[in-house]
Structure 1
Amino acid sequence: MPEVVDHVAVARLYGEPLFAMPQDLYIPPDALEVFLEAFQGPLDLLLYLIRKQNFNILDIPMAALTRQYLSYVDEIRTRNLELAAEYLLMAAMLIEIKSRMLLPPKKVAEGQEPEDPRAELVRRLLEYEQMKLAAAKLNEVPQFGRDFLRAQVFIEQSLQPRFPDVHVVELQQAWADILKRAKLVQHHKISREELSVREHMSIVLRRLQGKRFVEFENLFEPEQGVPVLVVTFIALLELAKETLIEITQAEAFAPIYVRLAYTPT
């Protein structure tokens, strides 16, 4: 412990109070520098000085502005000569404007006002301020990657497609469409005909033989009349009941397909 313990410690090192700075402590020259304002260029610095002193931008007091500007340039020249080059160019422009204002104005035609040496500088400052305000508004707009991220969801899908089951209502609708078309081509001839469901079951099986899929509508021949269509439809229902055929549909409202049932060997 130090001899004098009632003094206030200047720092703490590994939790222990430090009452005096070490003699061998090295502090780099730039370590304790604090930049109160950061400027994007000479125009940004000029605009800052004008707004800070509440100067009228249309009637700039060049003497006061030039003096404040040169004091800042002298400060940055001691630290960064490359950065000061751009500011020195603006300083030369300010001195030129100041010197031109000390000279008598040039004679102009009667009724015209003499040109103000500050006009070009004022125009550049107003344009820069307008662009700076526009950039600040754009920066307030939410940006992707800074203010929000795009949501991503990964869904694992099976490699084997699974077709939805065919419902009775869909079969009824498909059957109603076939009947509707059959009425457009039917013949108004009344005759008695005996039709066999088993025979049409065999006809359907023969038509499906050797084919991967057959569209439901292609199994009917509307020109044969409504009785044949009815028996063919009943034959399809019987074949489906006996699991001799499979009726599938890729998605809702998609065409209905019929194929022979798979029989493992």
Structure 2
Amino acid sequence: MKQYSVKVDAFEGPLDLLLHLINKYEVDIYDIPVSQITDQYLTFVHTMQELELDVASEYLVMAATLLAIKSKMLLPQKEEEIFEQDPEFEDDPRDELVQRLVEYRRFKEAANDLKEKESSRSLIYARPPVDTSEFTHEDSQTSIGDVTLYDMLAAFQKMSRRVKEKKPKRTRIQSEDVPIEDRMNAIRNQLRGSGKTRFSDLFSEEDRGHMIVTFLAVLELMKTRDVACEQDKNFGEIMIFEREGKASV
């Protein structure tokens, strides 16, 4: 299958992914269930690798760090006593990671505050008013929905598991490569007919190559603001909408 290089701006680094998982599963940042978070983190990284999203080395370094912390926390008591004799031994192997996450969260919140102030300041002009009515409609449609890239990856994971469960043990599938541009046009045409569709309904074929191209096509349509995605609740069905003003594209 043809290789596609897709740059996704929503990824801000491994700490951002960890913070997302902590918020998603509503766990205490000062008492992280390392085993659960590590498993979920590795699942996301593996999915990113399968989709060829060019996973940065820092994600893999964090994965190794999580596995090391998980191993230390699983050590028997006798082995822990040996580590306690080491002057560099930490009472809780999670402490350093927790400090990094708390600091990252603090800077992220500060960055969001600055971004809001920037947005407010951008509304102030030191010149006479001008007619902006022609831009009003487009400005009201700048949102692409409340769904994050992590939510999209989780939906793709669920879809992949469903296909694997339905797929026979032995199968031989022959399929032709589908250019991502063609798949984007097919999704546009599907939305023009109905206005909206469920994310799962886009995967009419169970060929893995076709599934990956479909997923990347949705990401590109979100990036170009041709579609908007919404999710009513965590782990719920993602709905994809055609954005107003894009029907003639």
TM-score, with length taken from structure 1: 0.39
TM-score, with length taken from structure 2: 0.42
Question: Which structure ranks higher in relative contact order (CA pairs < 8 Å, sequence separation ≥ 6)?
Answer: 2
The structure carrying a bigger helix percent of its residues is 2
Higher Cα Rg: structure 1 or 2?
1
